[in-house]
Amino acid sequence: MSDQTVVVARHRTFSFSRLFAITTNTLTELTRLKVFYVLLVFALVLIGSSIFMAQFSFQQEFQILKDVSLGAMSIFTSLLAIVAAARLIPQDVEDRTIYTILAKPVPRLEYLLGKIAGVLLLLAISTLVMSAVFLFVLYAREQSVIQMTLRQMSGAPREQVDDALRAIRSSALNIDLFPGIIIIYLKASLLAALTLFVSTFATTNIFTIVVMAFIYFIGHLQATAREYWLHEHSSGWITRVFLAIVALLFPDLQAFNLVDDIVAGAAISIALFLKTAVLGIFYTAIYTLLAAFVFYGKEL
Amino acid sequence: MTDPAIAVRGLTKIFPIPFHRQSIVAVRDLDLRVEPGEVYGLLGPNGSGKSTTLKIILGLVSPTRGCTEIFGRDSRLVKSREAVGFLPENPYFYKYLSGEETLRFFGRLCGLGGAGLKNRMDELLELVGLTNARKRRLGTYSKGMLQRIGLAQALIHDPRLVVLDEPTAGVDPAGSREIRDLILDLKRRGITVLLSSHLLAQAQEICDHVGILADGVLVREGRLQELIAIENQTELVIANASSDLVEEIESLIKRSNAELVARRRSTTTLEKLFLDATTERPRS
């Protein structure tokens, strides 16, 4: 071995370079998983095949196409978030790679942030790919319906044709889809952060996934249960504190379900979109901090 | 006075057993000092507390009592790990990365980059004999090759201290000898090495100091040559001695009150010392 000096940058408490190294490595790790491709291909096939599911009026056809596609995107990004985030820390512990990483001058917070950033990047890529396929299918059907309508209304007055085309365009590809897709992504991010938090004290991947399956269902049902509880029982401060704790532990996932409104053709108000987006970011940040707190004191 | 490479003072680690009143004492009142530039062997049977001690030194596990320092810095501080390279027992690494991608990843974690990192990677791949396998994924590497790439990643940032947990476990004799030669090379370069090992003959070849742990207690500690020497015996190594000279020496011994024990080596083996030290304490 030569005696040349190795130039190592002065240690910094927080380094984006280290964070980037862990993030890109996590993304590489996750894209090598077969389950990622299985889920993605399955979602894409479902979105693509939704084109054949409706043969009624064009409104119904577009409604079903959006319903199936956005529903598939929501379920598959949620599944991917849970499956991907559940394995990261337990796998590194099992393979002992966590020892070699944390024995380097890498703070635990950076390691954890790198891991969650890798999952969020994977979810962003998956959401983009699914959205591209969905929007392409929707656009193709819209063009097909427009051509068909133009042929059928070849002798009709100009205003009537314009009205028909406006009706088609407003029920197909419209701007309201994008906030819906962003909220689907934020819901998956929230689930990824929560899964990472559970995995910091879980001993196996299976345990984490089972716990997350329960949280997923409770999260979707808790809003209804809360309304029922407040309606049937007194709404004293103890009840409210208890419900607030439940709401923090089990996020109200139903609040992220804007798909139904979008499919029904109702425009999402900017206030509702911002409120839901901030809630998603807040939950993601809180669960990441909780994960960092537990992971900081974890014996490896 | 220079700081020791590693200073362990009054270290105790107790692992509570969930839902039980009992707990496991992994390490008890351990004091250890590793001087810069020496090769220190931490020896002991399975479950004696070697790995726990190494993990506490590396900040992976927190002590129940006591403190550990690396070159004068509290080893719980992330900054203290700038000076340390670590190779865990049976390392696995990310099997989807190639040899050079692995070194690049660990180099970037240590703040290396650009041409400096590339040169360092080339140098280390050459050192551990993996230049031809640099593009191959780690999933296709043999156990010996994994151990060597593990050693290369431990050295990527040119640390002053290298901690090796069972560095030759599961490696064939030739690979084991290569790793031994690499450790001796590190020692020549003034790098401090702390290793845990079960291969006592090999530890005897390379260690300056040894500490033997049994049930979490340091039962023997000191310079290797002093530990394995037998106090009431003297060893004369004579070159080109004629048989007459040897007979004369033997008769001289007979005439005195001394006793000729053997005509060859008169030191014990490290293996015997190890077994003596670890079997004289009843296992709990």
* Partner residue opposite A6 with nearest CB, options B105, B120, B189: B120
* Partner residue opposite B185 with nearest CB, options A1, A29, A99: A1
Residue of A200 and A46 predicted with greater confidence: A200
- The pLDDT of B86-94, averaged and rounded, is 86
B219-234 pLDDT, tens digit per residue, is 999 998 888 877 777 7
HSE-up (13 A, CA, CB side) for residue A191: 34
Choose the weakest-confidence range: A99-103, A242-246, A255-259: A242-246
List the strands of the sheet with B6-16, edge to edge.
B23-34, B6-16, B65-70, B73-74
Q: Is the four-CA dihedral A211, A214, A220, A225 of positive or negative sign?
A: negative
Q: Which residues on B lie below 8 Å from A102 (Cβ)? A: 58-60
pLDDT band at A231 (very low <50, low <70, confident <90, very high): low
Residue A2, pLDDT above cutoff 60: no
Closest CA to A195 of A290, A275, A125, A126: A290
Residue A94, pLDDT above cutoff 60: yes
Q: Do B79 and A100 touch (CB under 8 A)?
A: no
A48-59 pLDDT, tens digit per residue, is 776 676 566 777
Give the length of chain A. 300
For residue A84, the distance in angstroms to the closest alpha carbon of chain B comes to 16
Residue A55 · residue A61 · CB < 8 Å: yes
Residue B35, pLDDT above cutoff 60: yes
Residue B112 touches chain A, beta carbons under 8 Å: yes
Q: Do A21 and B109 touch (CB under 8 A)?
A: yes
Residue B164 · residue B87 · CB < 8 Å: yes
Residue B220 · residue B279 · CB < 8 Å: no
Query: Could you identify the residue written with the tokens 């360092």?
Result: B120
Q: Which long-range contacts (CB under 8 A, 24 or more apart) does A172-176 make?
A: A172/A58, A172/A62, A172/A138, A172/A139, A172/A141, A172/A142, A172/A145, A173/A135, A173/A138, A173/A139, A173/A142, A176/A262, A176/A267, A176/A268
Which two tokens mark B72? 């004068």
Residue A8 touches chain B, beta carbons under 8 Å: yes
**H/E stretch holding B196:** strand B192-197
For residue A72, the distance in angstroms to the closest alpha carbon of chain B comes to 30
Q: Chain A interface, mutation test: which of B78, B126, B130, most A Cβ atoms within 10 Å? A: B78
pLDDT value of residue A235: 63
Residue B242, pLDDT above cutoff 70: yes
Q: Do B60 and A103 touch (CB under 8 A)?
A: yes
The pTM assigned to this predicted structure is 0.84
Question: If you average pLDDT over every residue of chain B, what do you get?
Answer: 87
Residue A28 touches chain B, beta carbons under 8 Å: yes
**B247 CA to centre of own chain:** 43
Residue B74 touches chain A, beta carbons under 8 Å: no
Q: What is the DSSP letter of B17?
A: P
Closest CA to A265 of A196, A171, A126, A175: A171
Give the length of chain B. 284
pLDDT value of residue A176: 79
pLDDT value of residue B284: 44
Neighbours of A59 (CB within 10 A): 16
pLDDT band at A182 (very low <50, low <70, confident <90, very high): very high
Which two tokens mark B107? 């180099």
HSE-up (13 A, CA, CB side) for residue B192: 19
Q: Which residues on B lie below 8 Å from A13 (Cβ)? A: 78
Neighbours of B22 (CB within 10 A): 6
Residue B184 touches chain A, beta carbons under 8 Å: no
As for how many domains chain A has, the answer is: 1
Please count the residue pairs, one from chain A and one from chain B, whose beta carbons lie less than 8 angstroms apart.
118
Residue A97 touches chain B, beta carbons under 8 Å: yes
Which two tokens mark A110? 């950076």
Q: Do B110 and A100 touch (CB under 8 A)?
A: no
Residue A103 touches chain B, beta carbons under 8 Å: yes
HSE-up (13 A, CA, CB side) for residue A15: 21
Q: Do A104 and B189 touch (CB under 8 A)?
A: no
Residue B188 touches chain A, beta carbons under 8 Å: no
Residue of A231 and A83 predicted with greater confidence: A83
* Partner residue opposite B116 with nearest CB, options A7, A11, A28: A7
By C-alpha distance, the chain B residue nearest A111 is B109
Q: Distance between CA atoms of B10 and A93, rounded to whole angstroms?
A: 28
pLDDT value of residue B283: 45
Q: Distance between CA atoms of A48 and A51, rounded to whole angstroms?
A: 6
Q: Which residues on B lie below 8 Å from A106 (Cβ)? A: 78, 81, 109
Residue of A69 and B36 predicted with greater confidence: B36
Q: Which residues on B lie below 8 Å from A29 (Cβ)? A: 94, 96
Q: Do B106 and A300 touch (CB under 8 A)?
A: no
- The pLDDT of B75-103, averaged and rounded, is 90
For residue B80, the distance in angstroms to the closest alpha carbon of chain A comes to 7
Neighbours of B67 (CB within 10 A): 14
pLDDT value of residue A225: 74
pLDDT value of residue A281: 95
**B262 CA to centre of own chain:** 32
Residue B79 touches chain A, beta carbons under 8 Å: yes
Q: Chain A interface, mutation test: which of B109, B118, B178, most A Cβ atoms within 10 Å? A: B109
Residue A33 touches chain B, beta carbons under 8 Å: no
For residue B274, the distance in angstroms to the closest alpha carbon of chain A comes to 28
For residue A124, the distance in angstroms to the closest alpha carbon of chain B comes to 22
Structural domain of residue A114, as residue ranges?
A: 3-296
* Partner residue opposite A100 with nearest CB, options B79, B91, B123: B91
Four-point Cα dihedral A273, A279, A281, A284, nearest 10: -140
